[in-house]
Structure 1
Amino acid sequence: MRFNLKLQAMKIKTTIAILLLFTVTIKAQEINVKINGGPSGILYDSTLGDGKLKFGGGIGVGYTYFFSSHWGIMTGIDAMYNQNSFELHNGTTISTYEIDDQTSAFEYQVTPTNYKEDQHFISIAVPLMMQYRTSIAPQTQLYFGVGGKILFPGKQTAKASASELQLSGYYPDINLLIDDLPSHGFGKVTNWQDKTTVNLDPSFLLSVETGLTFKLKEKTQLYTGIYLDYGLTEMAKENPDVNIVAYSPNGIDNIQANGTSGNRKIVQESRYFSAGIQLKLGFMLTKNKPEPVPPKEEIVTKTEAPVQEAAPVQQKVVEAPPAKKELTPTERTYVEKPLAFQEVGNTNVTPELATRLDEIAKILKSNKDTDLNITGYTCDIGTEERNLEIGMKRAQAVSDYLQNKGIESNRMHLFSKGESEPLVPNIPVENRPLNRRVSLTLIDAK
């Protein structure tokens, strides 16, 4: 009992932690909606019968936070419809101990023929998964996800049927078997049907998925792939002292089903399983937020005013134009080192680039007499026209970022050379990421 309470407490704490993470990742880079379908239900391990998965499906919403160009963490909420069937082997007898209407104990024996249950239930799952993706074509990426889920199942509905039920009572004290006394609950029932519900336990799942993403628009991705969820813990609550149908001392006309799930005499193990294909639409949400531009400092005009000979001693040193600060060779090398846009078609400033651009902005702020030529480049994948467009978007992204850091737009001049002037040959293909870049050239004012 104490162990079960501790287990329940652990599940509650884990769920709260995941929900808190879900709340934090509301600011994730991508929101997605999905639909999936395939065999989905409970895998049974039974020596007395056979279980079969049936087709199920689900929908879900998720949030993914990408902390690099390849890696991200995903959470959300999924809803699934699950169904399966279970059939008992003919000739199987299920026995339990009961009390009759005369308060005598006896062994209740149920021998069904063609016994079958059609089962279904709805579940809610909260995933927590790591996702990796990498480009394999200009508009296509391969993705792979692995992690876990907590599954919260609703009640399982079981529709039971049998062509025949033989209900017998064995009294060991007097060595008596009664199998034809309908008024006291013993006899033969034909073409029997009934329905019942069974409680299920939450389950921890191992979850994997993989597939391809296709870029539909600038911030819209289509995910196509396959998924698999496997239960690490059992779902059916243990109930070994209940027969598949309830004993009724008032007759056999209204025999009620108890179900097979959780009956340890019939099912030794019950684990969740779901696999199939899925489609997702991902919508990028985050973008570089513009930072407030600091107020412009008053700059002493460079135009030299005529010297006033009448009062030369009244001129103050602070009124003279500030001395021009020269860029150091180290600063110039740091600024003019190419900015890498390694992903095909990527025109967004990555966190790694943002770190460099922050330092470049500081250098430019302290050297206000220096302008900047910003030129975007691509590899040779795609048309020349498209590559010129991507090159300009990359240059614009760098310019926008620096402007948000307080660098005046009139100091920055944008160009695109597309796939021309590669930094290294595009063959072998490993060289191509080096050509997806933006170059910065410092222009000193004369």
Structure 2
Amino acid sequence: MNFSLKNAIWGVALLISQGISAQLYVGVQSGIGNIQNDVSETSTGNRLGAAVKVGYIYSLTNHIGIGTGLEFSQYKQEASLINNTGTLSSYQVDPSTSAFVYDVTTTNYNEKQTLHALQIPLFVQYKTNINKGIDFNFRAGAKYFLPLKYKMEAKADYVNGTAYYPDVNLYIDDLPEYGFGGQGNYTATGEYDTKGVFMSMFELGFTFDMGVKNSLYAAMFLENGYGSILDQKDDKSFIGYNPNSVSDRKANGLYSADKDAKLRPVAFGITLGWNFK
């Protein structure tokens, strides 16, 4: 990753330490968290997102403030092929360095994906009093979205891997000792290679005074990523080639089939927080 996690944390900690006299906050987010993609023949479902956050807002005027902090987020979703029985192809090289086309056909293939990320926001807040003890708030800014781990649990009722060697016009579909053939009840875990991206962020909500120095914050949020979090140099078979067996085939994931795939985080939902004045 090009962005230093340690430097980012120390930088935000320094900013927070300088803002002790400002408004500190802690909070949680919950809603729809989606890793959108442009990979054909795939679909996603059961998208959930959540985050915990801490930070501060430094007031420039009675209405305008600048905020930053640290957020730890989690995205969970499922991915599958559009067709229950589908085939994806990739180019592979066998142990003898001969190139071949590797066709993988699966039945009821599904991935349960979990993405953990660190987010570093920088935003401007506008607030105005609308009633006694109630303020209207609008926040807009950007976040650096740094994936920490993007893992998957892959399952399929059946997996079949076949090879076609175009140089010699040879087709192989049943040679399990060389990795070609079928396997039932496939299960495997894997992980996507990732990198950081920037996101836009917007929040619209209210604060309710709960005492002299505390207030409750409730808002709706929308976050949209730009660029791709996928960091991969080569196309891969979504289920890897094992040259020694049809068992223990690695799960590379559906999105790994295209190294140029665009995966970007998008989230919206509700924020609840507690402000310390």
Fold-level similarity (TM above 0.5): yes
Separation of aligned partners in 1, 2:21 and 2:60? 10
Structure 2: segments with no counterpart, 5+ residues = none
Separation of aligned partners in 1, 2:135 and 2:58? 17
CA displacement at 1:24 relative to structure 2: 6.4
Separation of aligned partners in 2, 1:180 and 1:162? 19
| Cα contact 2:43–2:79 (8 A) shared by 1 | yes
**Which residue of structure 1 aligns with residue 48 of structure 2?**
55
**Which residue of structure 1 aligns with residue 240 of structure 2?**
246
Residue 170 of structure 1 aligns to a residue whose secondary structure is strand
**Which residue of structure 2 aligns with residue 192 of structure 1?**
186
Separation of aligned partners in 1, 2:172 and 2:192? 30
Question: CA, structure 1 residues 34+20, in 2 after alignment: closer, same or farther (shift >3 Å)?
Answer: closer
Q: Which stretches of structure 1, 4 residues or longer, exceed 6 Å deviation after superposition?
A: none
**Which residue of structure 1 aligns with residue 77 of structure 2?**
84
Greater fraction of residues in strand: 2
CA displacement at 1:20 relative to structure 2: 7.8
**Which range is displaced more, 17-26 or 234-243?**
17-26
| Cα contact 1:96–1:241 (8 A) shared by 2 | yes
| Cα contact 2:39–2:255 (8 A) shared by 1 | no
Residue 52 of structure 1 aligns to a residue whose secondary structure is strand
CA displacement at 1:153 relative to structure 2: 1.1
Separation of aligned partners in 1, 2:97 and 2:196? 38
Question: CA, structure 1 residues 253+74, in 2 after alignment: closer, same or farther (shift >3 Å)?
Answer: same
CA displacement at 1:239 relative to structure 2: 4.2
Aligned equivalent of 1:69, options 57, 62, 74 = 62
Separation of aligned partners in 1, 2:207 and 2:49? 24
**Which residue of structure 2 aligns with residue 236 of structure 1?**
230
Q: Which amino acid aligns with 1:268?
A: A
Q: Which amino acid aligns with 1:132?
A: Y
Aligned equivalent of 1:160, options 143, 154, 175 = 154
| Cα contact 1:44–1:268 (8 A) shared by 2 | yes
TM-score by length of 1: 0.58
Q: Which amino acid aligns with 1:109?
A: D
| Cα contact 1:41–1:120 (8 A) shared by 2 | no
**Which residue of structure 1 aligns with residue 198 of structure 2?**
204
Is 1:36 matched up with 2:18? no
The CA RMSD measured in Å over matched residues stands at: 2.3
Separation of aligned partners in 2, 1:124 and 1:47? 28
Separation of aligned partners in 2, 1:101 and 1:71? 64
Residue 35 of structure 1 aligns to a residue whose secondary structure is strand
| Cα contact 2:136–2:207 (8 A) shared by 1 | yes
Separation of aligned partners in 1, 2:74 and 2:10? 25
CA displacement at 1:229 relative to structure 2: 1.3
RCO comparison, higher one (Cα < 8 Å, 6+): 2
Is 1:224 matched up with 2:201? no
**Which residue of structure 1 aligns with residue 142 of structure 2?**
148
Separation of aligned partners in 1, 2:233 and 2:106? 20
Residue 244 of structure 2 aligns to a residue whose secondary structure is coil
Separation of aligned partners in 1, 2:138 and 2:213? 20
Alignment of 1:322-361 (within 5 A): none
Alignment of 1:272-287 (within 5 A): 272-284=265-277
TM-score by length of 2: 0.91
Aligned equivalent of 1:270, options 231, 252, 263 = 263
Alignment of 1:380-395 (within 5 A): none
**Which residue of structure 2 aligns with residue 431 of structure 1?**
none
CA displacement at 1:223 relative to structure 2: 0.5
Q: Which amino acid aligns with 1:45?
A: D
The number of aligned residues is 275
Q: Which amino acid aligns with 1:49?
A: T
Q: Which amino acid aligns with 1:46?
A: V
Separation of aligned partners in 2, 1:26 and 1:150? 20
Structure 1: segments with no counterpart, 5+ residues = 285-446
Residue 248 of structure 1 aligns to a residue whose secondary structure is coil
| Cα contact 2:42–2:81 (8 A) shared by 1 | yes
Greater fraction of residues in helix: 1
